Amino acid sequence: MLSGYKMKTIKLSTTLLFLAFFISSYLSAQNGISNNAGARGQAMSNASVNFRDVNSLFSNQAGLAHIETPVFLAFSEQRFALNEIRSIAAGVAYPFDSGVFGLSVQYFGFENYNEQKVGVNYARKLAEKVSLGAQVNYLNFRIPEYGNSGFVSFEIGLQAEIYKDVFLGAHLANPIGQEVVADEELPTVFRVGLSYSPGKKVNLNIETEKDLDFTLRIKTGIEYLPIEALALRIGFANNPSSISFGIGYSIKDKLRIDVGTQYHQVLGFSPGIGIVYQLKK
């Protein structure tokens, strides 16, 4: 029989091998943090480039320009229902006369591999139907065998209403390649998408995502509000193929709870939950 020490070593090795597969196959070489768009985005396959709420902290900062009151967001996700792979994020957006300022913090990973990201962002409307947002990030990667690596990067986004109830969004992350470890760089990812909102009950999203080194990914998301306080969501994506779904429920216009999950046919479910709270200005 194997000793307890050997069993722990085998479990750790298995986790590390799984993590390597997870990063390379599921995220198409994006780091774990960049795949995080909150519970609302998670339920819609992260087709989130046209979000115009506090979730824009993690998807497209241009959407923050539509926020009119201070708002706080917290989010937690369990990747593939494994305790070893968790994602936690929080952020706040605060509007001023000159625009909307935001702060976000994110964590992904476990003891033997983790990522941290702190972002400071700003968004404003350039015209009645056009908004622009940008974010400066500090990212830190920790791998015990290699130590810590810290980087400064940025991302920029644009949103515009191009026709009645039809919105175009674009976002570019990490435009300047930086080496994390030997022969591995921060991914440069460009996303562009369309959103159609015929009234207040339905929101349809389609988005393309391109990592410069990998195949184009297409994501779709649908949000339906049968009543004002309740949102039902579903999404589909390819490369890799996944399906997602979830709900959101608002309480007295101050608090909203979002629950979502993504399902990968090989790796299983990734459940997440988010809380959005409107602060007093």
> DSSP 3-state assignment of 18?
helix
Cα-Cα-Cα-Cα dihedral sign, residues 46, 51, 56, 60: positive
> DSSP 3-state assignment of 206?
strand
Percentage of residues of the chain with pLDDT beyond 90: 62
The candidate with the shortest Cα–Cα distance to 52, out of 155, 162, 130, 107, is 130
| Domain coverage including residue 174 | 4-278
pTM (2 decimals)? 0.86
Per the model's pLDDT, the better-predicted residue between 155 and 25 turns out to be 155
Cα-Cα-Cα-Cα dihedral sign, residues 88, 260, 64, 281: negative
Q: Which of 67-76, 140-149, 272-281 has the lowest mean pLDDT?
A: 140-149
Per the model's pLDDT, the better-predicted residue between 6 and 148 turns out to be 148
Residue 150, Cα to own-chain centre: how many angstroms? 20
Tokens of 189: 């990812």
Section 106-128 average pLDDT: 90
pLDDT of residue 79: 81
DSSP class per residue in 52-83: -SGGGGTT-GGGGGG--S-EEEEEEEEGGG-T
Confidence band for 13, pLDDT divided at 50, 70 and 90: very low
pLDDT of residue 225: 97
User: What is the Cα–Cα distance from 169 to 188, expressed in whole angstroms?
Assistant: 17
Beta strands 179-181 and 184-185 are: antiparallel
160 burial type by CB count under 10 A (0-12 exposed, 13-18 middle, 19+ buried):
middle
pLDDT of residue 253: 80
Tokens of 74: 């917290």
Please name the residues in contact with 128: beta carbons below 8 A apart, sequence gap of 6 or more. none
Instruction: Count how many domains the chain has.
Output: 1
Please write the tens of the pLDDT for every residue from 188-241. Answer: 999 999 999 988 899 999 999 998 888 999 999 999 999 999 999 999 999 889
Amino acid in position 134:
A
Radius of gyration for the alpha carbons in the chain, expressed in angstroms and rounded: 19
Please write the tens of the pLDDT for every residue from 15-55. Answer: 444 444 444 444 433 455 666 678 999 999 999 999 999 99
CATH number, domain containing residue 229: 2.40.160.60
